[in-house]
Amino acid sequence: ELKVEQNPLFLSMQEGKNYTIYCNYSTTSDRLYWYRQDPGKSLESLFVLLSNGAVKQEGRLMASLDTKARLSTLHITAAVHDLSATYFCAVRETSGSRLTFGEGTQLTVNP
Amino acid sequence: DVKVTQSSRYLVKRTGEKVFLECVQDMDHENMFWYRQDPGLGLRLIYFSYDVKMKEKGDIPEGYSVSREKKERFSLILESASTNQTSMYLCASSLFGTGIYNEQFFGPGTRLTVL
């Protein structure tokens, strides 16, 4: 059974600071997704990571994937208040279409 | 733009009622999914479907059933609602197969309260 764990689950940070959210998963996967959810809203796709060593960047967010370590990171650079949201990683098993989600990391960026 | 819509944003029902949650997608996606989201538990898969009239149980199917009579529509049914089914329900869709991204696109969610 595929398990996906994120840490931290709660993150309060100051504007301008850097931080990393970690996503560990338990079995072989061929792709990993990061989603963002604003309060009361649905999930929005941020990144899709397909292969070992993949790195994708969008604005102040950068995601990377290490398939050997079964680890993905979401790095936040110089945080701003607009990044406050809950971030989920989701992992797809090598076969099939279903995703397994982590618990989510609730990020609050304070002025 | 992929669009996934859900029939209600908020729903209040009584214990024992039969509840229908509807989801419609307009991008001709083969796969459709129903999740429930609860604080601290992330998203948990209830059921999914990869074709019309096909369904597969997810991780927490007990107390739920689904219907997919048309490709664009996937319904979640609570046969007899209970208070522990109070939750946010999210529908998603994606293309079938091992396409490059195959990301799931989510609807806005239905917050169901069972009294």
- Answer whether B90 touches A (CB < 8 Å): yes
Per-residue HEC secondary structure of chain B comes to CCCEEECCCEEEECCCCCEEEEEEECCCCCEEEEEEEECCCEEEEEEEECCCCCCEECCCCCCEEEEEEECCEEEEEECCCCHHHCEEEEEEEECCCCCCCCCCEECCCEEEEEC
Q: Is the pLDDT of residue A62 over 90?
A: yes
pLDDT in tens, B37-93: 998 888 999 999 998 989 999 999 999 999 999 999 999 999 999 999 999 999 999
Q: Is the pLDDT of residue B99 over 80?
A: no
Which residues from chain B sit within 8 angstroms of residue A44, using beta carbons?
106
Distance from CA of A77 to the nearest CA of B (A): 25
**Residue B84 backbone phi and psi in degrees, to 5:** -75, 5
Which residues from chain A sit within 8 angstroms of residue B42, using beta carbons?
4, 88, 101-104
Which residues from chain B sit within 8 angstroms of residue A4, using beta carbons?
42
